């Protein structure tokens, strides 16, 4: 008997007892004393009371039985729920262990993955992309704002070259790198994951590669913004060695190639 049926039985039995008690009260009220035939009346009354007491006892026994079954069902359900939680915990622990073994055995520990904390560095150094002012700045200039995560697929999935990705800041209010309408400068204006924020990484070694991206590999960031501003490569722009702006200037990967060459540091 499942839990729902048990609860329904309890409710039905309670209703039956209430109705029986009401009927008993009505019958008692309707007893008329027959003073001319008192012995017969007393016998009938005693028989009626015996029947009512028997019915009440039977109903009480049924309710007690239902309560016991309900308690047993709750215990069984509780034990089953505990067992399910234990199984889920064991499964989660096993899954983490298996993923760690796969990562360690296949060399994925050096692969950049979605959700990893990363920094974007120009090969010249020591300049890193900085969300605080949307510039490439010295590594000691508000360094907490130089950390980002790559968004676009499930956390833990390795990032491939030419994947559609978004670069989101991790400190303070979240902001995503975009190819802005202000002369195509790279800016952290909002947390959108839309057309202006759509990017992909291109391998410097092989621009047609779709391999996993590894830590410290040299690469380019290409905007996938639709329209005339799209398919342009991010490059450092003006400034000095410790403080430079960034701009999606042109589609020619060879032009100003040095200023387009970046690295992902995890």
pLDDT value of residue 78: 76
CATH class in words for 110-265: mainly beta
Between residues 216 and 18, the one the model is more confident about: 216
Between residues 181 and 72, the one the model is more confident about: 181
Instruction: List, in sequence order, every residue forming a beta bridge with 179; answer none if it has no partner.
Output: 186
Using CA atoms of 125, 129, 132, 133 in order, give the dihedral in degrees to the nearest 10: 80
Nearest-10 crossing angle of helices 38-105, 3-30:
170
Distance CA 168, CA 149 (A): 5
For residue 57, what is the enclosing H or E element?
Answer: helix 38-105
pLDDT digits (tens, 9 = 90+) for 217-261: 999 999 999 988 889 999 999 999 899 999 999 999 999 999 999
pLDDT digits (tens, 9 = 90+) for 158-180: 999 999 999 999 999 999 999 99
Going from N- to C-terminal start, the domains of the chain cover: 3-105, 110-265
47-56, 81-90, 218-227, range with the lowest pLDDT: 47-56
Over the chain, what is the mean pLDDT?
84
For residue 102, what pLDDT band results from cuts at 50, 70 and 90?
Answer: low
* Residue 3 pLDDT greater than 80, yes or no: no
pTM: 0.61
pLDDT digits (tens, 9 = 90+) for 109-121: 799 999 999 999 9
pLDDT digits (tens, 9 = 90+) for 138-162: 999 999 999 999 999 999 999 999 9
Task: Tell me the average pLDDT across 34-58.
Answer: 62
pLDDT value of residue 34: 46
Instruction: Provide the 3-class DSSP secondary structure of residue 102.
Output: helix
Distance CA 238, CA 247 (A): 10
pLDDT value of residue 107: 59
Instruction: List, in sequence order, every residue forming a beta bridge with 160; answer none if it has no partner.
Output: 212
Length in residues, the chain: 266
Output the CA torsion sign for 125, 130, 135, 138: negative
* Residue 58 pLDDT greater than 50, yes or no: yes
pLDDT digits (tens, 9 = 90+) for 175-207: 999 999 989 999 999 999 999 999 999 999 999
Using CA atoms of 203, 208, 209, 210 in order, give the dihedral in degrees to the nearest 10: 110
* Residue 30 pLDDT greater than 60, yes or no: no
Distance CA 129, CA 234 (A): 11
pLDDT value of residue 232: 97
Between residues 200 and 88, the one the model is more confident about: 200
Widest distance between CA atoms in the chain: 126
* Residue 88 pLDDT greater than 70, yes or no: no
For residue 82, what pLDDT band results from cuts at 50, 70 and 90?
Answer: confident
pLDDT value of residue 15: 79
pLDDT value of residue 110: 93
């Amino acid at each position: 008997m499942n839990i729902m049926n048990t609860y329904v039985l309890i409710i039905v039995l309670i209703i039956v007892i209430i109705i029986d008690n009401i009927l008993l009260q009505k019958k008692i009220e309707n007893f008329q004393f027959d003073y001319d035939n008192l012995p017969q009346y007393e016998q009938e009354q005693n028989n009626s009371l015996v029947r009512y007491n028997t019915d009440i006892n039977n109903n009480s026994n049924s309710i007690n039985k239902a309560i016991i079954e309900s308690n047993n069902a709750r215990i069984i359900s509780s034990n089953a729920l505990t067992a399910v939680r234990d199984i889920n915990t064991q499964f989660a622990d096993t899954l983490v262990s298996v993923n760690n073994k796969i990562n360690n055995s296949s060399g994925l520990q050096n692969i950049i993955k979605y959700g990893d904390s990363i920094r974007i560095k120009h090969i010249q150094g020591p300049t890193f992309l900085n969300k605080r002012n949307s510039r490439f700045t010295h590594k000691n200039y508000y360094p907490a704002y130089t950390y980002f995560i790559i968004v676009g697929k499930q956390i833990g999935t390795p990032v491939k070259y030419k994947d559609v990705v978004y670069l989101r800041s991790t400190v303070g209010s979240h902001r995503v790198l975009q190819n802005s309408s202000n002369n195509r400068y790279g800016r952290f204006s909002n947390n959108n994951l839309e057309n202006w924020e759509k990017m992909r990484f291109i391998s410097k070694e092989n621009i047609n590669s779709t391999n996993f991206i590894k830590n410290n590999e040299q690469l380019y960031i290409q905007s996938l913004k639709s329209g005339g501003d799209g398919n342009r490569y991010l490059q450092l722009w003006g400034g000095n060695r410790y403080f430079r702006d960034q701009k999606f200037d042109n589609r020619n990967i060879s032009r100003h190639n040095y200023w387009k060459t970046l690295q992902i540091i995890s």
